[in-house]
Structure 1
Amino acid sequence: MQKENPSHSRREFISLSGKVLASAALLTSSAGVLASHQEELNVGQIMDAFIKEVPGSPFEKTVDTLKSGDRNIKVKGIITTMFATIDVINKAIALNANFIIAHEPTFYNHADETAWLKNDDVFNYKMDLLKKHNIAVWRNHDYIHMHQPDGVRDYVVRRLGWTKQYDTESWVADIQSSSLQTLIMHAKKSLGIKQLRYIGDPRQVCKKILLMPGAAGGQRQITAIGSRKPDVLMCGEIQEWETAEYVRDARSKGDKLSLIVLGHIPSEEPGSAYMAEWVKQKFPAIPVKHVGAGSPFSFG
């Protein structure tokens, strides 16, 4: 989701591999050793430290609230992720981490309203799991997007290798000319995407890339296309009846415009890795690990 509007911008127990068990032992061991050198911090202190860095904070209206737990929980370890899925929660339990910093909603709607879910089996299972293990979940969406730099877009640009070519004001990367097919392959490799959707001629020469991670919305995507005149819009996700249809009509009109839809999670998951790096730098004594939520989709 884009930076301008901070108020806008989702499974059975896992089998723990030897690698995860080893990581759990290492994380637990590190927590024990390092805690002796630094006073224990609580959830609220870590939240406040990040929020304090954001221009204009704290925001009067924001979705960046605690979804479970409370500010006074003493932090043993932190997991950063796009979605606090049940799988991610179980990994946190295995790693002895009791604070999850997620970028997107925990309970299936933007504001994490839960009254409509009070009798839902999936919601109650998930909430009971969090309560049983006293795990705090904080959504860091509006603040990380308004952070300087935008923690999501900054890491996406880094992964794509466009740091020098990307302009933070226009959201445009002027890259070395390549075909649309080459650009698609580069995006898949850089962001770890198995499959993505696109509109355009694979042979089209592309140089000017409009990069809009997440779900900016059709009007903002289309308006940005109109003002920036890119060769390609590369975005996280779309409403299929909005941006896709605009691009189709633009191509029928004769415009050399293409669209690459990365998927919401691949286009913003790097922001959670950014958050893990921030914790490591600010609170080096607290064990932290980025755990990718992964895509829920299979492709037939």
Structure 2
Amino acid sequence: MTRQPDFIHRRRFLGQAALTAGAFTLLAPEILSGGAPKVYTVRQIIDLVLKEGNLKPIPDTVDTIKSGSPDQSVTGIVTTMFATASVIEQAAKLKANFIIAHEPTFYNHRDDPEWVKGNEIVKKKRALLEKHQIAVWRFHDYCHSLKPDAIRYGVVRKAGWTQYYKNETAALTIPATTLGELVKHLKTKLGIQKLRFIGDLNQPCSKLAIMPGAAGGQRQVSVAETEKPDVLIVGETPEWEGVEYARDGRLLGSKMALIVLGHAVSEEPGMEYFAEWLQPKISGIKVTHVASGDPFQWG
């Protein structure tokens, strides 16, 4: 039988499955009744996540299926930040054919395979996914819509600060420390080899604003202006925006420090937490977190 192209599956999925206004009506009867089917499809797993997370459909979401079919049976699930070639191979070794990734698979926000026409790396990656019959679903917009936001909560939890995380906002206050000790703490707890910072390592700090990932310079600066943190902690920021704001701020009398963790490593704890959130809700299928890791080498 001829296999239909991935984009046809995605179009059908967007029209019929979990990302539409009628999403929850498509849940399997076993899920609706509180039981669990012996075999889940990709579609049913997605529906379950939305139902259990009390998540309403998001119009024009990027959280769509990037490869595979919504109707294929799931043998195992891997959560990760990026569905890299190595994560795909590891999923295959684990006999997991469904990857839930937080960020794009094909190097652009919409995962448009024609973003750069004739992209050889995209072709090879799609062939690798096809070889292992792996479905990939992006879990970004819905992930940040969970209560609490799974990504920020995952970072707070891994840093050991859950007792200070009161109102689910970016700001939280920890016991007084120095910027140097905070840098060491984050490197150790989050498993980061190197991070970048602006500030005096001896300066005291207590109030933090935590913005993992790439929220954008405008949002980051807005939070800094509103919350007045001792330290703004971000995943990444355009250097002409948040970085220069922090540098000029200090030259003009501000005491705010900036810590740049790196995009992948700053949000990975959230997908690790999500794997633990999801596993008890699914019977008979193993959910494994496979970190995509820091993409950089350091000279």
In the alignment, is the contact (CA less than 8 A) between 1:55 and 1:146 conserved in 2?
Answer: no
Q: Identify the residue that residue 73 of structure 1 maps to in structure 2.
A: 72
Q: Which runs of 5+ in 2 are unaligned?
A: 1-35
**SS of residue paired to 2:258:** strand
Structure 1 residue 169, shift from structure 2 partner: 4.4
In the alignment, is the contact (CA less than 8 A) between 1:42 and 1:71 conserved in 2?
Answer: yes
In the alignment, is the contact (CA less than 8 A) between 2:148 and 2:168 conserved in 1?
Answer: no
Say which is worse superposed, 161-170 or 224-233, in terms of deviation: 161-170
**SS of residue paired to 2:115:** helix
RMSD: 1.4
Q: Counterparts of 1:122 and 1:38 in 2: how far apart (Å)?
A: 37
Q: How many residues align?
A: 264
In the alignment, is the contact (CA less than 8 A) between 2:143 and 2:151 conserved in 1?
Answer: yes
Q: Counterparts of 2:91 and 2:219 in 1: how far apart (Å)?
A: 36
Q: Identify the residue that residue 236 of structure 1 maps to in structure 2.
A: 235
Structure 1 residue 284, shift from structure 2 partner: 3.1
Structure 1 residue 57, shift from structure 2 partner: 1.3
Q: Identify the residue that residue 211 of structure 2 maps to in structure 1.
A: 212
**SS of residue paired to 2:175:** strand
Q: Counterparts of 2:256 and 2:103 in 1: how far apart (Å)?
A: 30
Aligned letter for 2:253? G
Q: Identify the residue that residue 291 of structure 2 maps to in structure 1.
A: 292
> 1:223-278: CA deviations, max 9, x gaps?
11111111000111110010111111111111111000011111100111122112
Q: Identify the residue that residue 223 of structure 1 maps to in structure 2.
A: 222
> 1:4-30: CA deviations, max 9, x gaps?
xxxxxxxxxxxxxxxxxxxxxxxxxxx
Matched, 1:185 2:184: yes
Equivalent runs, 1:1-300 vs 2, <5 Å: 39-55=38-54, 57-117=56-116, 119-300=118-299
Aligned letter for 2:98? F
Q: Counterparts of 2:117 and 2:149 in 1: how far apart (Å)?
A: 35
Structure 1 residue 218, shift from structure 2 partner: 0.6
TM-score (norm. length: structure 1): 0.85
Relative to structure 1, the CA distance from residue 217 to residue 167 in structure 2 (aligned partners, 3 Å threshold; closer, same or farther) is farther
**SS of residue paired to 1:96:** coil
Q: Counterparts of 1:167 and 1:292 in 2: how far apart (Å)?
A: 28
Aligned sequence identity (%):
52
Q: Counterparts of 2:190 and 2:294 in 1: how far apart (Å)?
A: 12
Q: Counterparts of 1:297 and 1:180 in 2: how far apart (Å)?
A: 24
Q: Relative contact order, CA 8 A, sep 6+: which one is greater?
A: 1
Q: Counterparts of 1:118 and 1:225 in 2: how far apart (Å)?
A: 39
Structure 1 residue 52, shift from structure 2 partner: 2.3
Q: Counterparts of 2:181 and 2:225 in 1: how far apart (Å)?
A: 24
In the alignment, is the contact (CA less than 8 A) between 1:222 and 1:243 conserved in 2?
Answer: yes
Q: Counterparts of 1:235 and 1:279 in 2: how far apart (Å)?
A: 26
In the alignment, is the contact (CA less than 8 A) between 2:108 and 2:115 conserved in 1?
Answer: no
Q: Which runs of 5+ in 1 are unaligned?
A: 1-36
**SS of residue paired to 1:242:** helix
**SS of residue paired to 2:240:** coil
In the alignment, is the contact (CA less than 8 A) between 1:76 and 1:286 conserved in 2?
Answer: yes
Aligned letter for 2:63? D
Q: Which runs of 4+ in 1 moved over 3 A?
A: 53-56, 167-170
> 1:140-191: CA deviations, max 9, x gaps?
0000100111111111111111111124344112111111000000010110
In the alignment, is the contact (CA less than 8 A) between 1:225 and 1:233 conserved in 2?
Answer: yes
In the alignment, is the contact (CA less than 8 A) between 2:42 and 2:70 conserved in 1?
Answer: yes
TM-score (norm. length: structure 2): 0.85
Say which is worse superposed, 158-167 or 67-76, in terms of deviation: 158-167
Aligned letter for 1:271? G
In the alignment, is the contact (CA less than 8 A) between 2:55 and 2:142 conserved in 1?
Answer: no
Structure 1 residue 117, shift from structure 2 partner: 4.3
Q: Counterparts of 1:176 and 1:39 in 2: how far apart (Å)?
A: 48
Say which is worse superposed, 124-133 or 82-91, in terms of deviation: 124-133
Aligned letter for 2:76? G
Aligned letter for 1:240? E
**SS of residue paired to 1:116:** coil
Aligned letter for 1:106? T
In the alignment, is the contact (CA less than 8 A) between 1:117 and 1:123 conserved in 2?
Answer: no
Structure 1 residue 56, shift from structure 2 partner: 5.4
